[in-house]
């Protein structure tokens, strides 16, 4: 219990704090670290699955709110902004700022943690409201940045450069900036002149996972797999940068009697064209795609139709092989999850993997954008050698515990909070 003088109640604010997306998961991990050190955590977002008594829901915070989507449509892909959109942005920002004032007052918040809302412009008024609130109050804030506008092609052409420079991210004296990889750290310093702290994504390696129980094993049936079928899990959203076409090629090349790729997440916020393309590509390669996203939840139970709900942890426990052929990731939650659940993984050498993860010495089946014969050979050999499989996954777990544990994040996070009292 090391809660700092003057800081007791901490408020997380984001567009969405629900489900199994990376921002929501990392927020939960940070909150766990903070609460076990004596802090109280509260939440504010446009979608929430946190404790109601500690949360405030504001629908306009969500990036899929109709008014926000109208603003986004005029903000990106164009270089001139209609006056009415400017007016709408300021009107929405004013309303959101008022709600933030109410949230801070209701829970007597001492420190705010804006989760990605001051990095990627998914909700421009929210970023502006957050920036103005911090500027007006001088409240301490740790801005947790997962990805920036300059890292996404769809944000490069825009009519809101004035707002991007103001709030994504802002330069204010009471903000401590946190990034999740070394490339973002260098870019933030270079582009905006902002000092920052690198806190990688983490996992609770101090507490090993439980083995799959009968409940979890039922997921194989839901995924239309027989007992002797290979459970190949693609634990990401269905978007182009996840490289799911490469995962299909891997499954297709393994010579399975029931070639199936299990997809754990929905298409997300980048449209449905890629989903359609992937469905066609899988059909051409005779690979069955099984989308388990509708029955994956944050906890076990039953949905409205009476179907069993499983956790992402259940999916990992059932998996025989993890495919992770992403071309770009802010960090790589799925890699850490595969390591934590001690599963073999095929990973593409995306930039952050090459700079921040691979040098640590992890043993994975790696590819450079192409599914080669060598990759397939390594997969087959590893899956047929239980001793080697156990040796590698155990080794990876120990490295994960050393470099990407809760304790690693906790140490840096507590230090940042301490800096506000100096």
Please tell me the distance from the alpha carbon of residue 202 to that of residue 409, in angstroms, as a whole number. Answer: 7
pLDDT computed for residue 1 by the predictor: 43
Q: Which of 300, 312, 305 is nearest to 262 (CA)?
A: 312
Please tell me the distance from the alpha carbon of residue 9 to that of residue 110, in angstroms, as a whole number. Answer: 5
Digit-coded pLDDT (tens) for 360-372: 999 999 999 999 9
Digit-coded pLDDT (tens) for 160-170: 999 999 999 99
Angle at 246 between CA 364 and CA 244, to 5 degrees: 100
Residue bearing tokens 């080669």? 372
- pTM (whole model) above 0.85: yes
Do the first three CATH levels of 9-202+406-419 and 214-403 match, i.e. the same topology? yes
pLDDT computed for residue 84 by the predictor: 97
Count the neighbouring beta carbons within 10 Å of the beta carbon of residue 250.
23
pLDDT computed for residue 80 by the predictor: 97
Please tell me the distance from the alpha carbon of residue 117 to that of residue 130, in angstroms, as a whole number. Answer: 8
Q: Where in 116-174 does DSSP place strands (E)?
A: 141-145
What's the length of the chain?
422
Please tell me the distance from the alpha carbon of residue 419 to that of residue 144, in angstroms, as a whole number. Answer: 16
pLDDT computed for residue 10 by the predictor: 98
What does residue 71 show for φ and ψ, rounded to 5 degrees?
-65, -45
Please tell me the distance from the alpha carbon of residue 114 to that of residue 59, in angstroms, as a whole number. Answer: 17
Count the neighbouring beta carbons within 10 Å of the beta carbon of residue 214.
6
| CATH pick for 214-403 out of 3.40.50.200, 3.30.70.600, 3.30.1600.10, 3.40.50.2000 | 3.40.50.2000
Q: Which of 142, 116, 200 is nearest to 4 (CA)?
A: 142
Per CATH, the homologous superfamily of domain 9-202+406-419 is: Glycogen Phosphorylase B; (3.40.50.2000)
Count the neighbouring beta carbons within 10 Å of the beta carbon of residue 391.
12
How do the domains of the chain map onto residue ranges?
Answer: 9-202+406-419, 214-403
SS3 29: helix
Contact predicate 342/397, CB 8 Å: yes
pLDDT in tens, the chain (422 residues): 445 557 999 999 999 999 878 899 999 999 999 999 999 999 999 999 999 999 999 999 999 999 999 999 999 999 999 999 999 999 999 999 999 999 999 999 999 999 999 999 999 999 999 999 999 999 999 999 999 999 999 999 999 999 999 999 999 999 999 999 999 999 999 999 999 999 999 999 999 999 999 999 999 999 999 999 999 999 988 888 899 999 999 999 999 999 999 999 876 555 578 889 999 999 999 999 999 999 998 889 998 888 899 999 999 999 999 999 999 998 989 999 999 999 999 999 999 999 999 999 999 999 999 999 999 999 999 999 999 999 999 999 999 999 999 999 999 999 999 999 86
In Å, what is the CA distance from 187 to each residue of 118, 179, 184, 205, 350? 15, 10, 5, 30, 17
Where residue 417 falls (left for φ over 0; alpha for ψ -120 to 50; beta otherwise) is alpha
* Run of H or E residues at 263: strand 260-263
Task: For residue 397, give both structure tokens.
Answer: 């777990």
Please tell me the distance from the alpha carbon of residue 143 to that of residue 338, in angstroms, as a whole number. Answer: 27
């Amino acid at each position: 219990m090391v809660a700092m003088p003057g800081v007791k109640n901490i408020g997380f604010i984001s567009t969405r704090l629900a489900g199994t997306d990376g921002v929501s998961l990392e927020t939960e991990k940070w909150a766990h670290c903070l609460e076990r050190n004596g802090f109280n955590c509260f939440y504010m977002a446009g979608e929430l699955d946190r404790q109601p008594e500690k949360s405030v829901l504001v629908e306009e915070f969500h990036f899929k709110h109709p008014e926000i989507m109208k603003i986004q449509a005029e903000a990106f892909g164009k270089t001139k902004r209609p006056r009415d959109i400017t007016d709408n942005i300021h009107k929405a920002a004013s309303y959101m700022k008022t709600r933030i004032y109410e949230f801070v007052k209701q829970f007597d918040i001492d420190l705010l943690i804006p989760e990605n809302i001051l990095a990627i412009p998914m909700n421009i008024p929210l970023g502006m409201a957050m920036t103005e609130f911090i500027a007006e109050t001088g409240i301490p804030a740790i801005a947790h940045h997962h990805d920036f506008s300059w890292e996404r092609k769809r944000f490069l052409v825009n009519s809101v450069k004035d707002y991007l420079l103001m709030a994504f991210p802002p330069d204010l004296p009471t903000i401590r900036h946190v990034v999740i990889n070394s490339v973002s750290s260098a870019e933030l310093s270079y582009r905006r002149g902002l000092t920052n702290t690198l806190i990688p994504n983490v996992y609770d390696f101090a507490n090993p996972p439980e083995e799959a129980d009968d409940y979890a094993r039922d997921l194989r049936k839901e995924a239309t797999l027989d007992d002797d079928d290979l459970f190949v899990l693609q634990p990401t959203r269905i978007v182009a940068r996840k490289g799911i076409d490469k995962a299909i090629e891997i499954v297709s090349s393994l010579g399975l009697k029931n070639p199936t790729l299990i997809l754990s997440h929905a298409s997300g916020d980048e449209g449905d064209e890629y989903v359609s393309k992937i469905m066609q590509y899988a059909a051409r390669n005779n690979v069955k795609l099984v989308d388990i996203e509708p029955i994956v939840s944050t906890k076990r139970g039953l949905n409205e139709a009476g179907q069993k709900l499983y956790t992402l942890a259940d999916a990992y426990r059932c998996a025989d092989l993890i495919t992770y052929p992403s071309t770009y990731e802010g960090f790589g939650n799925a890699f850490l999850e595969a390591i934590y659940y001690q599963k073999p993984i095929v990973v593409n050498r995306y930039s952050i993997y090459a700079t921040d993860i691979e040098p640590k010495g992890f043993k994975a089946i790696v590819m450079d954008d192409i599914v080669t014969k060598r990759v397939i050979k390594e997969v087959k050999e590893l899956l047929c050698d239980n001793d080697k499989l156990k040796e590698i996954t155990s080794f990876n777990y120990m490295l994960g515990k050393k470099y990407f544990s809760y304790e690693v994040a906790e140490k840096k996070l507590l230090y940042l909070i301490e800096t506000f009292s100096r």
